[in-house]
Amino acid sequence: MRTRLLLISHPATAAQRKGMFPDDDPLDARAAEDAAAFRASNGPLLDAGLALSSPAACALDTAKALGLAAHAVPALADADYGRWRGRRLLELADEEPDALAAWTRDPSAAPHGGESFDALTLRIGGWLDALEHRGNVIAVTHASVIRAALMRVLQAPLATFTRVEIPPLAVVELRRDERGWTWWPAPHRPA
């Protein structure tokens, strides 16, 4: 059996809209409305044999808003931002400009005491390797996790990690067959 994996990024949280690193924030009313609108226009896309989610509140709230009975999977958790959790990016740019620059340029850097892009990509790669012969799977997760999955599947240099934009409620489709994982254009989303 082949595996078709739809990775869906959660809607922007209030903290993200304020330019803050996440700190296990739930969806606010605006994000919940965005998820409900996504569900209304993408209902058939959300049919899967297995629904998974990051254990973060925003991802679990998104899965629920999408009508998915998702199982929380620790491997789908957002990157660990260490001491930067809940902090504004602009504050960090003033207080730790060199550390922030290193983190955005060097995939092995983790000056915040959390997880580097290298470590995140290894974690997600291990999860992808273990996910086989599952049919249709939907995973609600974070932009960083989806970037890591794409880096792994495309075997792209990790230095390009920060050059991949994953917007809120983006859908990335990956498929696994006897050749391994491949990236597919996102399924059609009605306007």
Question: Over the chain, what HEC string results?
Answer: CCEEEEEEECCCCHHHHCCECCCCCCCCHHHHHHHHHHHHHHHHHHCCCEEEECCCHHHHHHHHHCCCCCEECHHHCCCCCHHHCCCEHHHHHHHCHHHHHHHHHCCCCCCCCCCCHHHHHHHHHHHHHHCCCCEEEEEEECHHHHHHHHHHHHCCCHHHHHHCCCCCCCEEEEEEECCEEEEECCCCCCC
Domain 3-184 has CATH 3.90.1150.10: no
| Per-residue pLDDT at 188 | 54
Query: What is the mean predicted confidence (pLDDT) over 132-154?
Result: 93
pLDDT digits (tens, 9 = 90+) for 53-92: 999 999 999 999 999 999 999 999 999 999 999 999 999 9
Global pTM value: 0.93
**Residue 78's pLDDT is what?**
97
